[in-house]
Amino acid sequence: MAVSAKRRHSGADDSGEQQAGYLGVTASAKGYAWRDRLAPEKRLVAEAISQRHGLPELLGRVLAARGVGIDEVEVVLDPTIKALMPDPSVLRDMDRAAERLAAAVKSRQPVAVFGDYDVDGACSSALLKRFLDHHGVPSRIYIPDRIFEGYGPNPAAIETLVKEGAKLIVTVDCGTTSFEPLAVAAKLGCDVVVIDHHQADAELPTAKAVVNPNRQDDISGLGHLCAAGVAFMVLVATQRHLRREGHYATTGTSEPALMDLLDMVALATVADVVPLQGLNRAYVTQGLKVMRQRRNAGIKALLDVASLDMAPTPYHLGFIIGPRINAGGRIGDAALGARLLATEDENEAARIAALLDKLNRERKAIETEMLEAAMSDAERLVEADPDVPLLLIGSQAFHKGVVGLVASRLTERFKRPTCVISWETEEGAKPGQGTGSLRSVAGVDIGGAVRAAVADGLLVKGGGHAMAAGLTVARERLDELARFMSERLRHTAREVRSALALDIDGALQPAGCNDALIELLERAGPYGQGNPQPRFAFPAHRVKFAKVVGEAHIRCVLEAADGSRLDAIAFRAHGQPLGDLLIGSAGMPLHVAGNLRKDTWGGRNRIEVQIEDAADPRRQG
């Protein structure tokens, strides 16, 4: 396969190799040092994996570099629900939640599903709705309006749902910090079951059950699940409870085929960027198999509107399907995504999918305009203080629904946590409030910082998890918030930036990039957060025919010393240091790093490199 597992460093021993950088790269176009992903102490593990399991050397290296032990290989290469899902009862309050849901099913009590407006919330809501529909339980989905209601349950919405007849409210992907709204439900005599995965304080809201693997007294070890992953386990437990009580036998109702719902769990798991480890790997692997059958009318309609005629992959879930579902919550009707995923009507699904596709195009235009303004503000902040731990940027011109996307772009560009705020228009002497979205880098817990700010009274509300969070802040408290967050994050943010490196899995030549290699690498998938896509270096390759295509992408050809070539593309690189280096290389050899993918655009079937970074060998050391 022409794959080189040999470390190409300028140092002689292991410690020197790590310091010198892979291929000697200490300062790439993106400011990274390159390093071998396989740590020296893992090399013997890689060899043992290959020998014991009869696997190629490269696959052994990929697995060992991602922390896979010798005895874990089989379940990693074949992740199944049976092997990786524990008894649902290991989750705190699970049995109470299952019992209450089962009671609603048996008595057919009206149930309201209160979900978040993102992909995870839409998928979680649709899971519950489809389960309840199967059992003939009257139910409705309520998704709050992102602009007017904000995140999570609110008292007015709870009152409305109870007045409409709801006897049980199930919150999904929200509710853990909704003390006042859930107290309203209790006062009105309506039970609430919370299904969530966001970080929690020791105190929990009033509810029949709070199923959240990230509550502080939960010891299940399932904190890496998204809300849909937790919701699926709730359905498993509820179905088991109904079966044990003889519900299916006495009523003649068939048991729902829960495995057929895994396509939505996979979609949420990838789109919510939770670690693809443990049970999440099974969710995505098995969910993709279900999705390929296109049984869900809504997902099928999204695949059709995106002209995706190949078997979907995690990339398609995260960058093709997910953004279209999110578009409704960002700039349109927040409930569109959940309605699409819950419907059985193919005509209705096609209509909603077309609308979401249109909204997604509008979202892209808004994001481009906002990003340009935010990027200028961020550059000024970094220029004034190169060590600034948090980029805090806001504007009345920013759209609430897109601040998270812009924050992600800035975090990617400046390698530090970012908070982007959309300010309300001030009325008279009223200072107004801002709705902000935060994104972080691995190693800096932004969710914990936001919860601490809430505890200190600096925020109207806020919450989230380590890598992403949201907040509402009064404009008059912004300076205090900035000081608080800077003091809390400065040390860890500095440490993370100083240790930034691009991990490389091996060196390749174009001749070795073939279908056999792709199939080999896919065995260790699915890839995503927590199980990174293998990244390879192409040493001293010339960049040919570089040109700007589409939305600031750069397409080119990599040519090795032997004349063999490979197509390549660098997304959103135009106008960035990476793009400048690729276009301005003037035929001089560059070290290029990226991952391999199959390109099927326009009916073609070819392998290309998705370039992530590059370095000029002459400027190292």
Residue 156: band (very low, low, confident or very high) from pLDDT cuts 50, 70, 90: very high
Greatest Cα pair distance in the chain:
77
d(Cα 585, Cα 580) in Å, to the nearest integer?
A: 8
Q: Residue 289 burial by CB count (10 A; 0-12/13-18/19+): exposed, middle or buried?
A: middle
The per-residue pLDDT for 230 is 98
Beta-strand pair 565-570/553-559? antiparallel
Specify the long-range contacts of residues 95-99, CB closer than 8 Å, at least 24 apart. 95/237, 95/241, 96/208, 96/209, 97/193, 97/195, 97/208, 97/209, 97/211, 97/234, 97/237, 97/238, 98/234, 98/237, 98/238, 98/240, 98/241, 99/241
- Angle at CA of residue 340, ends 337 and 342, nearest 5°: 110
Q: For helices 262-271 and 322-331, give the axis angle rounded to 10 degrees.
A: 70
Mean per-residue pLDDT, 318-343: 94
User: What's the pLDDT band for 86 if we cut at 50, 70, 90?
Assistant: very high
Separation CA 260–CA 182 (nearest Å): 32
Question: Domain 85-358 adopts which CATH fold?
Answer: inorganic pyrophosphatase (n-terminal core) (3.90.1640)
Q: Considering the entire predicted model, what is its pTM?
A: 0.89
Q: How confident is the model at residue 606 (pLDDT cuts 50, 70, 90)?
A: confident
Across residues 419-423, what is the average pLDDT? 97
Share of the chain above pLDDT 70, in %: 95
Average pLDDT value for residue range 219-241? 98
**pLDDT band for position 16 (50/70/90)?**
very low
More confident residue, 621 or 613: 613
**Residue 478 confidence (pLDDT):** 95
Q: Is the pLDDT of residue 290 over 70?
A: yes
The pLDDT-based confidence of 9 (bands split at 50, 70, 90) is very low
pLDDT confidence tier of residue 426, bands split at 50, 70 and 90: low
At residue 240, the pLDDT reads 98
Average pLDDT over residues 307-319: 92
Least confident span in 8-17, 279-288, 331-340? 8-17
pLDDT band at 147 (very low <50, low <70, confident <90, very high): confident
Q: Are 335 and 373 in contact (CB under 8 A)?
A: no
Indicate if the pLDDT at residue 17 is higher than 50. no
Cα separation, 358 vs 224, whole angstroms: 33
pLDDT digits (tens, 9 = 90+) for 175-191: 999 999 999 999 999 99
pLDDT at 605: 76
* Contact (Cβ atoms closer than 8 angstroms) between residue 521 and residue 491: no
Does position 620 have pLDDT exceeding 90, yes or no?
A: no
Q: 418 and 407 in contact (C-beta within 8 Å)?
A: yes
Q: 504-563, pLDDT tens digit by residue?
A: 999 999 999 999 999 999 999 999 988 999 999 999 999 999 999 988 999 999 999 999
* pLDDT tens readout for residues 36-65: 999 999 999 999 999 999 999 999 999 999
SS3 501: strand
> Could you tell me which CATH number the domain at 3-37+505-619 has?
2.40.50.140
Please give the CATH architecture assigned to the domain spanning 385-500: Roll (3.10)
- Give me the chain's average pLDDT, please: 93
Q: Which two tokens stand for residue 160?
A: 């409305």
Cα(400)–Cα(144) distance, rounded to whole angstroms? 14
C-alpha 590/C-alpha 578 separation (Å) is 11
Q: Where are the alpha helices (DSSP H) in 41-178?
A: 43-53, 57-65, 73-77, 81-84, 94-107, 119-134, 155-163
- pLDDT tier for residue 18 given thresholds of 50, 70 and 90: very low
CB proximity list for 491: less than 8 A, separation 6 or greater: none
With cut-offs at 50, 70 and 90, classify the pLDDT of residue 603: low
581 pLDDT higher than 90? yes
For residue 600, pLDDT beyond 80 = no
Give the position of tokens 């299916």.
248
